[in-house]
């Protein structure tokens, strides 16, 4: 399959093509000029190539849009970038009273070639004022077309379709898509295909070519498309045939493009991230009822996010935003004929595959459904109930995350498999063993006063000791450090490396890929490439003296986000380019920040890159985790002035890379040779 671009790169290329073809094209927005290139780097390179037509503006969305309208009245083409879609409300007056009315209020049609780009959507922890999906507020305005970027459509085609109308348009771009790659070659994956249908190739249809049963159609725009596809995959595992339909143009809604798919469909679900009420989904349902009533087997169903602000806290944000699990639940209710509102579920059903090991095991009991702790880590006899994420007495839905349990390696979330009222029988901070019951989910109206956590029998009260207990995350670090010092005879070698070229290479890679590439990714890539040359440094020494070689380099990385030190693993690191490597590092850091790292994320390490790059740190000796042979310390980079061979003064960037190694497997000569090879690789 063709290597696909990231969406930010793809949109950037489409803008470059537009400017190359249209000498009267303008781009207006806040901080869009190089080197910044916009908040999401979509406009990088445009101001360098077209300095007179790409302008950074004052912080006034109303003013930016007004200037765009004036240029459009003169016959120019204007792209407006609103830094965050939440702020487009400040331009509402210009949109509804100037841009759109100018098309028709001068006695003859007046082309207004303006596209207002709006990054929208949550999922990135930006909080209430930078995460909204505002599409629904612009539906129904005469002479205003609404488009949304998706991973299935070509951005250049979407821009061209918007500009061909000769009317103002808004292009919504889900921020979660910017770092994701497009789908190309009419394939989503090995199983799923897609095709573009309708006028302007407006509709993308994702389907299983081998499916025969009548499909449930899920209409999902933009960033919601991937959530709908994820829900469809899980539904397919249960024998349900689901097709996902993704429009490029939201409004005016293209009914004709989907009429041929409605005949024979089991039903229609419209999924969108905005809140319910006066939505795009309502517009879709209204249009389909009017045009295709005889073809519909069931009422059209709408799913959306919760009707509240979008919190910054990760677990609260997930609870508010529309998720793949919410779409899946609606699909399964529709397929089984159950009421989607009831949340009913059979106690004796087989556990479906979307219930992961981190899902609560629910067992029938007279007093309700037991919330039991699953087996999460074979190395632990007990875990810590870190916190309840839902208050006692609250109503919970199927799939809602209700508690967090900390193992020796990670924090696992427990999700309810039954709807009802939560009773908490174990207090946060208490130890819990696999299989133990920590609470119950009761039927509505059956919730008694919360029972106090049971006291341990035959416990003699002890006087309080001074000080405070070590936090669970720090206890985990303490255990690893103690085991390392106890079991591993560590030696350490350090070298000074000129990383000037490596830093320049990282900057070039960042510009080319649109990813956040830094020295960290360049070092990880170099470490991965040295695996074949130095296999002993990636091997594992067993307790009985055997050496197990690593088939592929799986590089661990220290991640400290203020809640503890974590060691997530980048598997098969040698197969990733720098852009993918950077995306993987960002994903792992975000998981750590949001307490979503899982056991699988930290398993299989055979080499550790320890980041000690706090400003000013020039030397650090890392701890080697048990089961690993080497740990490479990457400190802060510092400037150094030297004289070159011609006597000229030259500045260079230096880093003192240090290798801690298990002296049972690696000797000093090997360590020195490895560091020399690493230094050479960083010279590029």
Give the N- to C-terminal CA distance of the chain in Å, as an integer. 29
Q: Are 203 and 245 in contact (CB under 8 A)?
A: yes
Percent over 90 (pLDDT), the chain = 57
Q: Which segment of 62-76, 223-237, 298-312, 580-594 scores lowest on mean pLDDT?
A: 580-594
pLDDT at 648: 85
- Residue 418 — pLDDT band, cuts 50, 70, 90? confident
Whole-angstrom distance, CA of residue 250 vs CA of residue 138: 10
* Best CA proximity match to 26, nearest among 73, 100, 80: 80
In this prediction, residues 344-370 reach a mean pLDDT of 40
Could you report the per-residue pLDDT of 630-647, keeping only the tens digit for each?
Answer: 999 999 999 998 887 778
Q: Over 60: is that where the pLDDT of 272 sits?
A: yes
CATH class of 361-442: mainly beta
pLDDT at 645: 78
- Residue 226 — pLDDT band, cuts 50, 70, 90? very high
Whole-angstrom distance, CA of residue 485 vs CA of residue 343: 52
* Best CA proximity match to 662, nearest among 619, 631, 638, 616: 631
The length of the chain in residues reads 684
| CATH level 3 topology of 7-177 | Rossmann fold (3.40.50)
pLDDT at 469: 60
- Residue 351 — pLDDT band, cuts 50, 70, 90? very low
454 vs 417 pLDDT, higher one: 417
CB atoms within 10 A of CB 49: 12
Q: Which segment of 3-12, 69-78, 374-383 scores lowest on mean pLDDT?
A: 374-383
Tell me how far CA of residue 553 lies from CA of 100, 387, 529, 549, in angstroms. Answer: 57, 36, 8, 10
- What CATH number should be reported for the domain whose range is 473-683? 3.30.559.10
Whole-angstrom distance, CA of residue 671 vs CA of residue 89: 60
pLDDT at 453: 46
244-265 burial, b at 16+ Cβ within 10 Å, e below that, comes to: bbbbbbbbebbeebbeebbeeb
pLDDT at 361: 36
pLDDT at 99: 97
Whole-angstrom distance, CA of residue 476 vs CA of residue 513: 37
Token pair recorded at residue 636? 């802060």
In this prediction, residues 19-45 reach a mean pLDDT of 94
Q: With the C-alpha atoms ordered 321, 325, 326, 328, is the resulting torsion angle positive or negative?
A: positive
| CATH level 3 topology of 193-336 | Rossmann fold (3.40.50)
Three-class SS of residue 73?
A: helix
In this prediction, residues 648-674 reach a mean pLDDT of 93
26 vs 591 pLDDT, higher one: 26
Could you report the per-residue pLDDT of 422-432, keeping only the tens digit for each?
Answer: 999 888 888 88
In sequence order, what E strands does 169-241 have? Answer: 169-174, 193-197, 203-207, 216-219
Averaged pLDDT of the chain:
86
Domain ranges of the chain: 7-177, 193-336, 361-442, 473-683
449 vs 433 pLDDT, higher one: 433
Percent over 70 (pLDDT), the chain = 89
In this prediction, residues 365-382 reach a mean pLDDT of 74
Q: Which ranges of 488-518 does DSSP label H, i.e. alpha helix?
A: 500-513
* Best CA proximity match to 235, nearest among 262, 261, 247, 217: 217
Could you report the per-residue pLDDT of 537-575, keeping only the tens digit for each?
Answer: 999 988 788 899 999 999 999 998 776 788 999 998 899
Q: Are 671 and 493 in contact (CB under 8 A)?
A: yes
pTM to 2 decimal places: 0.66
Q: Over 50: is that where the pLDDT of 354 sits?
A: no
Q: Are 551 and 536 in contact (CB under 8 A)?
A: no
- Structure letter (DSSP) for residue 165: T
Q: Which ranges of 85-124 does DSSP label H, i.e. alpha helix?
A: 92-94, 100-102
CATH topology match: 7-177 vs 193-336: yes
In this prediction, residues 41-51 reach a mean pLDDT of 94
Q: Over 80: is that where the pLDDT of 601 sits?
A: yes
Radius of gyration of the chain (CA): 28
Q: Are 205 and 195 in contact (CB under 8 A)?
A: yes
Could you report the per-residue pLDDT of 177-208, keeping only the tens digit for each?
Answer: 998 889 999 999 888 999 999 888 999 999 99
Q: Over 80: is that where the pLDDT of 602 sits?
A: yes
CB atoms within 10 A of CB 166: 14
Whole-angstrom distance, CA of residue 155 vs CA of residue 13: 9
Rounded to an integer, what is the distance from CA 592 to the centroid of its chain? Answer: 13
Q: Over 80: is that where the pLDDT of 456 sits?
A: no
In this prediction, residues 584-608 reach a mean pLDDT of 86
pLDDT at 471: 61
pLDDT at 384: 84
Q: Over 60: is that where the pLDDT of 366 sits?
A: no
pLDDT at 545: 82
Q: Over 90: is that where the pLDDT of 174 sits?
A: yes
């Amino acid at each position: 399959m063709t290597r696909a671009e990231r969406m930010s790169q793809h949109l950037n290329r489409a803008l470059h093509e537009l400017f190359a073809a249209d000498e009267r094209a303008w781009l207006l927005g806040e901080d869009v000029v190089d080197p910044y290139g916009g908040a999401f780097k979509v406009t990088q390179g445009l101001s360098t190539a077209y300095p007179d037509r790409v302008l950074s503006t004052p912080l006034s969305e109303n003013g930016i849009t007004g200037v765009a309208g004036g240029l459009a009245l003169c016959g120019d083409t204007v792209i407006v970038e609103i830094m965050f879609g939440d702020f487009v409300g400040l331009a509402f007056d210009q949109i509804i009273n100037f841009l759109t009315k100018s098309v028709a209020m001068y006695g003859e049609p007046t082309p207004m070639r303006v596209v207002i780009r709006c990054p929208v959507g949550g999922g990135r922890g930006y909080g209430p004022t930078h995460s909204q999906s505002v599409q629904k507020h612009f539906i129904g305005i005469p002479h205003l077309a609404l488009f949304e970027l998706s991973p299935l459509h070509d951005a250049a085609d979407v821009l061209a379709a918007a500009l061909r109308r000769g009317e103002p348009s808004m292009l919504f771009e889900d921020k979660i898509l910017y770092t994701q790659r497009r789908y190309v070659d009419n394939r989503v994956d090995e199983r799923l295909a897609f095709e573009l249908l309708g006028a302007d190739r407006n509709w993308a249809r994702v389907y299983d070519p081998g499916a025969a049963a009548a499909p449930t159609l899920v209409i999902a725009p933009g960033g919601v498309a991937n959530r709908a596809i994820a829900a469809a995959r899980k539904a397919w595992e249960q024998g349900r045939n689901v097709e996902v339909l993704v429009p490029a143009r939201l409004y005016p809604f293209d009914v004709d493009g989907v009429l041929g798919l409605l005949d024979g469909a089991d039903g229609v679900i419209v999924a969108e991230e905005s809140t319910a009420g006066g939505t795009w989904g309502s517009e879709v349902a209204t249009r389909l009822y009017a045009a295709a009533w005889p073809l519909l087997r069931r009422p059209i169903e709408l799913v959306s996010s919760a009707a509240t602000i979008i919190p910054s806290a990760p677990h609260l944000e997930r609870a508010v935003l529309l998720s793949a699990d919410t779409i899946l639940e609606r699909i399964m209710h529709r397929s089984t004929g159950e009421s989607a509102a009831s949340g009913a579920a059979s106690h004796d059903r087989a556990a479906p595959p979307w219930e992961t090991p981190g899902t609560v095991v629910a067992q029938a009991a007279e007093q309700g459904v037991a919330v039991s702790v699953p087996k999460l880590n074979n190395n632990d006899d007990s875990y810590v109930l870190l916190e309840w994420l839902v208050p006692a007495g609250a109503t919970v839905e199927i799939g809602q995350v209700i508690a967090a349990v900390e193992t020796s390696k990670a924090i696992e979330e427990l999700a309810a498999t039954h709807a009802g009222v939560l009773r908490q029988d174990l207090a946060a901070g208490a130890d819990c063993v696999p299989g133990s019951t920590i609470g119950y989910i009761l039927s509505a109206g059956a919730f008694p006063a919360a029972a106090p956590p049971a006291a341990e029998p035959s416990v003699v009260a002890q006087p309080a000791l001074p000080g405070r207990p070590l936090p669970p995350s720090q206890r985990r670090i303490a255990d690893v450090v103690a085991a390392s010092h106890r079991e591993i005879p560590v030696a350490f070698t350090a070298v000074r490396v000129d990383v000037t070229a490596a830093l320049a290479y990282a900057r070039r890679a960042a510009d080319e890929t649109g990813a956040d590439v830094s020295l960290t990714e360049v070092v990880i890539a170099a470490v991965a490439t040295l695996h074949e040359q130095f296999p002993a440094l990636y091997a594992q020494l067993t307790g009985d003296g055997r050496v197990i070689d690593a088939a592929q380099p799986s590089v661990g990385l220290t991640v400290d986000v203020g809640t503890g030190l974590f060691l997530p693993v980048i598997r098969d690191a040698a197969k990733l380019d720098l852009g993918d490597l950077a995306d993987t590092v960002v994903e792992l850091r975000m998981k750590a920040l949001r307490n979503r790292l899982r056991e699988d994320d930290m398993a299989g390490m055979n080499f550790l890159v320890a980041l000690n790059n706090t400003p000013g740190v020039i030397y650090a000796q890392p701890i080697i985790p048990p089961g690993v042979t080497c740990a490479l310390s990457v400190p802060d980079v510092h400037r150094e002035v030297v004289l070159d061979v011609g006597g000229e003064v030259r500045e260079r960037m230096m880093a003192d890379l240090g290798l801690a190694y298990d002296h049972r497997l690696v000797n000093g000569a090997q360590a020195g040779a490895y560091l020399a090879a690493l230094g050479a690789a960083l010279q590029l």
